Amino acid sequence: MAEADAVVLEGLGKRYGGRAVVQGVSLRLAPGERLALLGHNGAGKTTVMKMMLGLVRPDGGSVRVLGRDPAEAAGDVRASVGFLPESVVFYEAMTGFETLRFYARLKRRPAEECRALLARVGLEAAAARRVGTYSKGMRQRLGLAQALLGAPRLLLLDEPTTGLDPELRQSFYAIVAELKAQGTAVLLSSHLLTELEERTDRIAIMNMGRLVGLGTLGALREQAGLPVRFRLRVVNGNAAAVADRLGSLVLERVPGELGVACAPRDKMEVLRAIAGLGTLVDDVEVVPPSLDDVYASFTGRPLTEEATA
């Protein structure tokens, strides 16, 4: 028998005062699945996570986590759930090991697990240092270590790679891949869409409290109907001839290259036309719509705009 879904949200709603911050959100997260939860600040993502943790009760609909209502079975649910909030705050006078040991006691986990997790996130050498001396990236890694305590069946990660350098981001996603292979359900919320494209199984897009897109990246690209782009490297001196033959498909010209776009349904026809150019073209690269493009199509504005503001 297949294992039950780790998370089931049905018509989930939440209001603060007279303002609806979450409206009719329904989705499921299966064991071993990685789901990216995307949205601008104020879209309702954090409120949805808080309802999954049982910290906030919904005003409408229902939430089930590992088969239980998290607000009514908070102790049992949280013992099997790891959570990394966007802003990690620790008591600065404690060492890294003492901090993790504190959280381990709450989950009734042994000290040996703390040492192993500190090594796993690259903090073994800093375990005896006070947290007050840690950089932002080190605190983020310590936060990840506490979220991994007890081999959680569900992991909720809110902006998990903030403050991490590229090498540590690679290490973080390697850990997420290991957890997926072990059957852990992972929900990630991040503004860094480029790094999510190949590292999630499905994507949920929220806008103004509503779920406006849900599916694989391929399915969302198809729903959005965004153009497929091609980048052509043209043999020296032939750019004008190639542009004339491709006509209105050409969007941009730079020295030695042409940018071409078409509707998804016309992709193969355009590829055949490019192949017919023969030796006029050195190379062609197909550039499908990025996750940033898809997100902007569903919400009306790019998420990177907020992340860099």
Beta strands in 202-272 (DSSP E): 202-207, 210-215, 228-234, 250-254, 257-262
Q: How far apart are CA 76 and CA 66, in angstroms?
A: 10
Q: Is the pLDDT of residue 309 over 50?
A: no
Residues 6 or more apart whose Cβ sits within 8 Å of residue 280: 234, 235, 238, 241, 242
- Residue 118's closest CA among 130, 128, 109? 128
Q: Is 144 in contact with 84 (CB distance < 8 Å)?
A: yes
pLDDT of residue 304: 61
Residues 103-137: tens digit of each pLDDT = 999 888 999 999 999 999 989 999 999 999 999 88
Q: What is the DSSP letter of 20?
A: E
Residues 15-55: tens digit of each pLDDT = 998 899 999 999 999 999 999 999 998 899 999 999 999 99
DSSP 3-state of 33: coil
Q: How far apart are CA 25 and CA 51, in angstroms?
A: 12
Domain range annotation of the chain: 7-222, 227-288
Q: 130: exposed, middle or buried (C-beta count within 10 Å: 0-12, 13-18, 19+)?
A: middle
Band of the pLDDT at 56, cuts 50, 70, 90?
A: very high
pLDDT of residue 297: 93
* Amino acid at residue number 181: A
Residues 251-262: tens digit of each pLDDT = 888 888 999 998
* 227-288 CATH pick, 3.30.470.20, 1.20.140.10, 3.30.70.2860, 2.160.20.10: 3.30.70.2860
Q: What is the pTM of this model?
A: 0.86
CATH match of 7-222 with 3.40.50.300: yes
In a 13 Å sphere around the CA of 227, the CA atoms on its Cβ side amount to 10
pLDDT of residue 1: 41
Q: Is the pLDDT of residue 308 over 50?
A: no
When pLDDT is averaged across residues 235-255 and rounded to a whole number, the result is: 87
